Structure 1
């Protein structure tokens, strides 16, 4: 009797173990993302603010896609930017890194060396670049609305290759944003194309593409290298140019001190205005229209300055 009872207990334990094992296997398969057909999360890092704005528009409303801007809100153009340990940690989590290209991210070689698996999205791919008198290519392509449109399309096309599951949505979002940028460009052309006064003096080399698009003539540049004060000789030359050309407006940038521009204004009677190359700002998830808003404000300033 005792032996029969032991046998029954053993059979019950083995049966329970088999049922439990089957149950665990079933839950595991249900939770497997590949089996369930769930989309994987995608983290996209952008090099600085203008790339962030374009990228959040391209990725708008796509579940599982996160966009992170690498640099701080106050970071201007990346001419002399140095990678930080925090930047490298951010890039380690990235599936793709969206850059302006055209030589703007001088730190990129180091990034590629340390993150060889990182997919680089070059927003300036195949864009025609302007050169200064020394032959150096100007990377500020996004300041032209037409170039900003091409960059948005570039970002969408290259992300579609990296993340094929969301390819159609990237391209659809890009097309929607491009329509807004085209409307902005048309409005600016209607306001600026008929302006007789086309001569301007800018703060540094951020506006050649903008000037080319709207047929403005940059007579002189106050500081060719951002953050470098012009020499007395350069200041004197700019002052003479303004007096000879009867230019009434100087254009500083909100990212840099306008001290040199104010000095020139005092000597010439010209007025200092502010044009924003849309290079800095808070990387907020709802900053979709930040580029458009800044450009609309730039248009108002130009209308006042060039009338």
Structure 2
């Protein structure tokens, strides 16, 4: 064998040795670059709580399955892109209480998907119109706190490597929510006028939290205009109770509320059920919107 081939053989052997020594096996690469843990949330209010609970935890990301302007998911249908998002999830955080009616279908297609139901253990209120359980529990700050506690505890179990961080973040966010609740009670508890008319059945938990009396609801079903009979019934109730404030929602047209207001002398204000938000994932989105609700309520009820 001539010298050229000997040198070539030596170079190949050295190259193989260096590659096997310096290159990372899949196991080593996995150890040094741990797989990202992905939390998928169903819609905006769950997303805001989850980004607070998972705040600044390396390797953990939170993805909202739906667009932040989607709103409530009562009749939501899963899309192919939703299923693709869920396929990447290590855990799926939902409100529960009947909000995500598609959940059985999702779990059926992905039986290994871990689901955290944030409203688990919360006492539910039944709608006066149909007797069904109302899922809008997060609109009560007290129940939102319970949801955050559920999230942090369950995420700590599912992702034990970060259990201390989830629990610490959850405790920090709960303190902020408790301060918000105290602030709102301080400003609202002394107001004598407690009668309100809301746009949808989104506020029974909020009303219970702050001892408000919902005299009537303008639209029982979001997106469905009230009938002439329903409007007439609402007008009668408003006049009888001498209600001065109607609360529309920023996600829907104020047309029906303004029509009723013109016939009763009541004034239209805004209450946000916090089902939609900005694209930037503002970590204080819930608190800011609730502070706007406080401002609206104080203005409306002190007249």
TM-score normalised by the chain length of structure 1: 0.92
- Whether 1:218 aligns to 2:214 is yes
Structure 1: 5+ residue stretches without partners: 1-5
Residue in structure 2 matched with residue 137 of structure 1 by the alignment: 133
- Whether 1:111 aligns to 2:106 is yes
Residue in structure 1 matched with residue 245 of structure 2 by the alignment: 249
Deviations 1:250-298 (A, max 9, x none): 011011111111111011000010100111012424x111100000010
Residue in structure 2 matched with residue 122 of structure 1 by the alignment: 117
Residue in structure 2 matched with residue 84 of structure 1 by the alignment: 79
- Whether 1:74 aligns to 2:69 is yes
How far apart, in 1, do the equivalents of 2:117 and 2:213 lie? 29
CA positional deviation for 1:166: 1.3
- Whether 1:54 aligns to 2:54 is no
Tell me the SS of whatever aligns to 2:216.
Answer: strand
How far apart, in 1, do the equivalents of 2:60 and 2:30 lie? 20
Please say which structure displays the higher CA radius of gyration.
1
How far apart, in 2, do the equivalents of 1:121 and 1:93 lie? 16
The answer to whether the 8 A contact 1:156-1:171 is kept is yes
Matches within 5 A, 1:129-208: 129-133=124-128, 134-208=130-204
- Whether 1:231 aligns to 2:227 is yes
Tell me the SS of whatever aligns to 1:265.
Answer: helix
Pick which of 244-253 and 163-172 moved more. Answer: 163-172
How far apart, in 1, do the equivalents of 2:100 and 2:144 lie? 17
Matches within 5 A, 1:19-30: 19-29=14-24
TM-score normalised by the chain length of structure 2: 0.93
Q: CA distance change for structure 1 residues 154 and 33 in 2, over 3 Å: closer, same or farther?
A: farther
How far apart, in 1, do the equivalents of 2:96 and 2:162 lie? 24
How far apart, in 1, do the equivalents of 2:37 and 2:255 lie? 44
Tell me the SS of whatever aligns to 1:188.
Answer: helix
CA positional deviation for 1:241: 0.6
How far apart, in 1, do the equivalents of 2:125 and 2:212 lie? 15
How far apart, in 2, do the equivalents of 1:138 and 1:119 lie? 24
Give the number of aligned pairs. Answer: 301
CA positional deviation for 1:76: 1.2
Pick which of 269-278 and 256-265 moved more. Answer: 256-265
CA positional deviation for 1:98: 1.1
Structure 2: 5+ residue stretches without partners: none
Q: Which residue of 31, 36, 45 maps to 1:41?
A: 36
Residue in structure 2 matched with residue 3 of structure 1 by the alignment: none
Pick which of 17-26 and 272-281 moved more. Answer: 17-26
Tell me the SS of whatever aligns to 1:88.
Answer: helix
